[in-house]
Amino acid sequence: MLNLAFFNTGEGRVTGYLNWAQTHLPSFSIFCLSEVHDKHAPNPQTRRNTSPKPGVQSREMFDQYDRLVDIMRDSHHCRHDASAVHEGDGALYGLATFTSRSSPRAYGFQAEAVHGYYGAPWPSPRLYSSCSQIVSFFVELDDCVLLCAHGHFAWIKEGKDDHIIRDRQSHRIVAHLERRADEMLQHAKPVEVMLGGDFNVRPDLRALHSIQAANVFGPDGAAILNDTVEHGYDTRTNHYAKDERAADYVLVSEALRERVVLTINRNVPSDHALLLVALQT
C-alpha cells in the first residue's frame, strides 16, 4: 500500500502546526505540501527583516521537516521567489515533497511554472498570484510507472470563477503532464497519472474540466477522487471562514480508479483539509 498525502499548510499559521507536521510526516509514504516556508531570502532587502510574518510560526518549516531525513528517504523544496517579495519577511515559500524509506523510490523530480514565471513580481494591486507551479516525479510500481504531480495553482482575488488565467494555466498543466509521460514512452510498463493539490477552483469550472478530459489520464480522461467521498468537494476546515469550501482535488488515471481510496481529514491545523490517497500496489 502506498499512502500519498496532499496538503496545503496554510503557511503554518495555525497553532501547533509544526508539532502536528513533524508527528505525522513519517506516517505517509509520500507527503506533498504547499505553502512551505524556507529561511532564505531572495535578496538583501528582504533579509533585513528577520522576524516571521504575524501568525506564521516559523520561517524554517522546510528545514525543520528536513531534520527527519533519517526517517524520510528524500526531500525536495521548489520555491516561489515572488512570494517572498509579497511576504516581505525574507521567507521563500513553495512546494515540498517528502518520501519515506519504506515506500518505492521516487525519482525524476521536476518543477515548472504553469502560471506566470519564477521571480515574477506580485501585481499591484494584488489581483492574482504572480506565479504558480507544478512538481512531478515517477514512482516505480510492480505493474506500472506512477507519474505523480502536485501543485498550488493560481489565486485570483475576484473569486474561484472561470478566468483566462485559469484556462491558460490548465493548458500548461496538461502540457507538463504530457511531456513527463512522454519521457517514459520506451518503458515496458504503462504510465499512470495522479495529480493533486490546491487547484483554487470550484468543481464546475472549465479549468478543472479541461484537465480532467486530458488524454494523458487515458482515453476517457481522469477520475476525480473527490466524487467518491461524501462532501468530497468540501476541502476546508473550521479554520476557514468563507462560504466557498472547494479548493483541493486529486485526479487519477481511470486505470487506477479501482485501486485508490481517498480520505479527507478536516481535523488538521490548517485552513485546508488533508487529502490522503491509499493506492493498492
Domain hosting 158: range is 2-279
User: 199-256: per-residue pLDDT in tens?
Assistant: 999 999 999 999 999 999 999 999 999 999 999 999 999 998 888 899 999 999 999 9
Q: 31: number of CA atoms within 13 Å, CB side?
A: 30
- Nearest in space to 195 (alpha carbons), one of 264, 155, 136: 136
User: 166-209: per-residue pLDDT in tens?
Assistant: 999 999 999 999 999 999 988 889 999 999 999 999 999 999 99
User: Residue 15: which pLDDT band, with cuts at 50, 70 and 90?
Assistant: confident
Tell me what pLDDT residue 166 has.
Answer: 97
**Could you tell me if 106 and 150 are in contact, meaning their C-beta atoms sit under 8 angstroms apart?**
no
Beta bridge partners of 4: 30, 277
User: Residue 71: which pLDDT band, with cuts at 50, 70 and 90?
Assistant: low
41 pLDDT higher than 60:
no
pLDDT exceeding 70 applies to what percent of the chain? 81
User: What order do you get walking across the sheet with 106-116 strand by strand?
Assistant: 106-116, 131-140, 145-152, 191-198, 248-253, 222-224
Characterize the bridge pairing of strands 248-253 and 191-198. Answer: antiparallel
Q: What is the mean pLDDT of residues 110-128?
A: 85
Tell me what pLDDT residue 278 has.
Answer: 97
User: Residue 279: which pLDDT band, with cuts at 50, 70 and 90?
Assistant: very high
Task: Give the span between the Cα atoms of 111 and 44, in whole angstroms.
Answer: 25
Q: What is the CATH number of the domain that holds 118?
A: 3.60.10.10
Tell me what pLDDT residue 93 has.
Answer: 74
Range from 82-96, 142-156, 167-181 carrying the lowest mean pLDDT: 82-96
Task: Give the span between the Cα atoms of 210 and 169, in whole angstroms.
Answer: 10
- Nearest in space to 62 (alpha carbons), one of 91, 24, 102: 91
More confident residue, 70 or 198: 198
14 pLDDT higher than 70:
yes
**What's the distance, CA 172 to chain centroid?**
16
Characterize the bridge pairing of strands 72-80 and 93-100. Answer: antiparallel
**Number of structural domains the chain divides into:** 1
Range from 59-73, 161-175, 197-211, 258-272 carrying the lowest mean pLDDT: 59-73
More confident residue, 150 or 15: 150
* Residue 243 backbone dihedrals phi, psi, to 5 degrees: -75, -35
Range from 35-39, 42-46, 92-96 carrying the lowest mean pLDDT: 42-46
The overall average pLDDT reported for the chain is: 84
**Could you tell me if 23 and 66 are in contact, meaning their C-beta atoms sit under 8 angstroms apart?**
no
Tell me what pLDDT residue 65 has.
Answer: 67
* Residue 214 backbone dihedrals phi, psi, to 5 degrees: -65, 140
The pTM assigned to this predicted structure is: 0.89
- Nearest in space to 246 (alpha carbons), one of 221, 261, 227: 227
